[in-house]
Every structure is written in structure tokens, then in C-alpha cells.
Structure 1
Amino acid sequence: MTTSDWGDWLPRAIESADPDSVAVWYLGCNGFVLKGSEGTTLFVDPYVGTGDPPRTVRMIPVPFDPADVTDADAVFATHEHSDHVHGESQAPILETTGAPFVAPDASIAAAREAQSWEDRWALDDGQFQEVAEGDVLEVGEFTVHVVEVNDPDAEHPVGYVFEHESGTVFHPGDSRPADSFGRLGREFDIDLGIVAFGSAGMIPDKETREPTYTKWYNDEGEAVEAASALRVDRLLPTHWDMWKGLTADPTALHEHVDSFEHPRSLELVEIGDRVDI
């Protein structure tokens, strides 16, 4: 487990925040915290690992120690990849707060079988909450819809639409454009849409360690295609900051979104930044 580069200021800032609507903090990679006006606090894909050097090398600070998190109503995972389901990043939050781990079946299996969270941390069986597309959850002041996405690299990915009286946030994990996005754009009024964005690169293969052409995230055209289909008001690109060899420049998206009705604006954030709905 790595030590936070920033001490505990980010968890304390989130804990003490009193938003009028919904505050959203970017944790780097594809991690977020959502906090509503009544105090409900949701973590989505928080990750503070350093990857698997030299295959995947973290390029950004470790912004918090999970043991410093004292307030969480749920931790959501979008899919089973190790930067989305990671015991050292997520299990201490569950252990301290008693929050449920909400995830699809492959992610639950990664946590309980592959990573043996229950053997390493004091967690209850009831904290593992398996979900699937079509499920609707009430978590404090949020209504959470589990929806279909398109991540060809994942075994079973899902996305989450977080509805709040102040607005709606959509987190599709590492999804590329999906057939479901047009329907979701008509069904939900998405204020803030999160889209994984990055470049392609020669990354060592997981088994052979030979450099292999790798593309895990949306390029500029795909990011805007997804945002346009979803009819998002604000597009927030993620993941571009994380892995050596796959980083990208999110400012390049300005030219790509100019001729589209959606997104109406581009929300560029760095690790630790807060935006409000």
C-alpha cells in the first residue's frame, strides 16, 4: 500500500463540505466522490494504487489514504479491472464506515475470490451488494440507476446514473460509445457526464511483457460521440492523467465539441478538483 502524497486534507475537505446541491471531487484515474446537500457521500471507483510497473505506471499523486476516510454511504465499482476493484483502495473505506460495496458480479468475484477482501479486512457478508443492469437503488438522497455500457476490455461492466433533486451525474466506467447511450440521453437529463479519455500506446503485455499496441479509453472522436449521444450538458474527461504511455491532453477536446449541440461545455479538472452540479 502506498502512502498519500497529500496527507489527509482531501478526505477532511470532503467531510467538512456542505454543498448546496451535489459536489463532485475528482480522485484521478476514474475515481470520484459525490456528496449531496444532505450529506450523502458516495465513492465511485476510488483507486490509490501505483499500477503494475513497468506495465502500468502511475503518473499522478496518491491523493488520500483510504484509512483516513470516515464518511461514506456506499462505494461503487463499475467493472472488475484492478484500478476499479482494488482492496487496498476500497476495503479500508468499507471497514471503517460499514458502507456497502456495490458492484456487478465480476467485480464482486474479484473482491471476494481473487483478492480475498474478507480475509484481509473486517468486512461483513452483507456489505457486498451485487447489482445488474436495470436495478435501481436508493442511497440517501440519491437514486442510482444501473445501466448498460460498452467496455470491450471488461468481463461485466456497468454504468451508474446518479439522480439527485439538484441534477444528474453519469459515470459509465471506461465505456466506449454504447448502443444504450442514445436511450439514456433521452431518458435522463444528464448534467455532468464522465467519459474515460486517453491515447493509445505500446504497453508491456500482462503475461509476456512484450510491448503491445494498447487502447483502453476513448479517443477525441469517441469521447464526443459518447457525450453527444448521452446529451450531456457538461463533459468531464477522465483517465487521461493516469498511465504512462496512455496519457492525453484533454484541452484537445475543445475543438472536437465545438460543432455539437451536446456537450454544452467541457469541464476540465485535475486530481483533487471539485465541481458542483
Structure 2
Amino acid sequence: MTDFITRFAPSPTGPLHLGHAYSALLAHDMARAAGGTFLLRIEDIDRTRSRLHWEDQIYDDLAWLGISWDEKPMRQSDRLSEYKLALHDLWNRALLYPCFCTRRDISAAVSAPQEGAEPAFGPDGLIYSGTCREQYIRSSSFPKHDALRLDMQDALSAADQPEFCYTEHSSGTDQTHCTPAKSMVHDVGDIVLSRRDFLGSYHLSVVLDDAAQGISHVVRGKDIQPATPIHVLLQKLLGLPTPTYHHHRLIRDENGKRLAKRDDARAIATYRAEGKTPDDIRRMVGL
């Protein structure tokens, strides 16, 4: 029988807030209830925004909440060689191409009058129009300092599956969610798998890291659910297992807006300073 292994994977780019507390406590509670394992991963792949003092605050806040992890935390900054190997693999299979477009270029391209339709948005924001893909002349030399995009059409052909499915665990039951392969070209597009300013991307690192940690159940917010078919596709391309997913509700403010790290008023550290207890935090997030 497969071990029940969950994880919490925050980025050290700001203070943890109530939404993080809910996700971490839920994943921790699920692992403990199943007699399983709870792991911690620090997603510090974006070195331009990650800060060590925020990482230290993560450890402190989680310990205060009563959350313990069963192995030494994984840090993405220690795994750059693994991301590079995966990128080289996809590049050698002609599934990637370099992209030189800025966000402004992409916005201008999809907003051009001749398009005749409203700009399309996917899990990564505006769906890329394919400008660099159409202009790129294939080279055997791996680009060292360029953004790299997945050629979605070729990737789907390489995966050779009519749909991409995963198990969603919710309310004590398992349901199968499937996304037709043919819809991913237009609804997802050519996603970025590595950026100019740091190696890799969320999509690439999360599937590699979950596999490396042996995660059986990924517990994360519903805001990430639209990206899950991308992760299943990458798992198929890279020969990685697909875990079970639990996409939980989001903690919102009084106006219904999802909490962000810049919302210091709802930071765990702020509540701690005000004298709140871990049990208070559990009640506040509905646990």
C-alpha cells in the first residue's frame, strides 16, 4: 500500500497569512490522520524575490501553529541541476523553443485589432500567440539565458493521450477529472518552463519536486486547479507518477478577495503579536 505523504510548499517572498495557515494545517492534519508523512518544501526558485528572513519566519510560524515535518525541508535552490536535466531532456526531444517576447509584447499581440476577439486567458495568464515558435529555426544548441516555452502541440503529440486525467480527493470521496488533449492548445497554450532570470518555472519544478519527495496527495488551493492538467502532461512527458490532488477552498477577506502576502493585517505573525493562539487561528480558518 502506498504511504500517505503530503506537503506544504510556501515561497519565502513574504509573511505567511491565514490562507497559508489553512493549507498547511489541512495537509498536516490529513497526513497525521492517515498515519502518514508530512513534508515541507521551500519554493525559493525565484531568487530575485526570495529572502532568507522570510524562510526563517516560515519555520517559526509553522512550529508555532503546532506543525512538524518529518524530514529535512527541501529547498528548490538546491535542485537547479535537476530542473536543468529535465529541460535538456525536453529540448533534445524538440519540445521546447526559446522565447524573447516581453509581457508587453504578448499583450500587444493578443490585443491586436485583427485578432477580432477578446484576449484569451489560461492558467498562466494571457495565452501566448506563438510569435517566437513561428519564427524559431531549430538549433541543437541549448539556450543558456533565454526563456523556454513548451510547444504545446508537439508536447501533446509526444504524450500521445486523448485526455489528461487525475484523481481529485474531496469530501472523503475520489473523483476523476479529465481534460481533453485537443483543448489544451487553445485553453492553455505554450507555457513557460524556464525564465530568463531564473532556471525553471513553477510548473516544471512542482512536478519534479513532488516526484522527488514521493508525494502521494498534493494539498493546495483551488486557484491552482486550472494548472493541474499541465502538471499531468509534464508528468507523462517526464515519466513521473501522478499523485492524488486535493484542491481546497480559499480563505478570503470580508470583501471576498483572496488573501495575498502583502496583506500584512492577516499575517500569522501579526495575529501572534496580538496575542492570538494556534487554536484561535484554527477557528478563524474553519478548522
- TM category, shorter: under 0.3
TM-score of the aligned structures, taking structure 2 as reference length: 0.26
Structure with the bigger percentage of helix: 2
Structure with the bigger percentage of strand: 1
Q: Which has the larger radius of gyration?
A: 2
Q: More relative contact order in 1 or in 2 (CA 8 Å, sep 6+)?
A: 2
TM-score of the aligned structures, taking structure 1 as reference length: 0.27
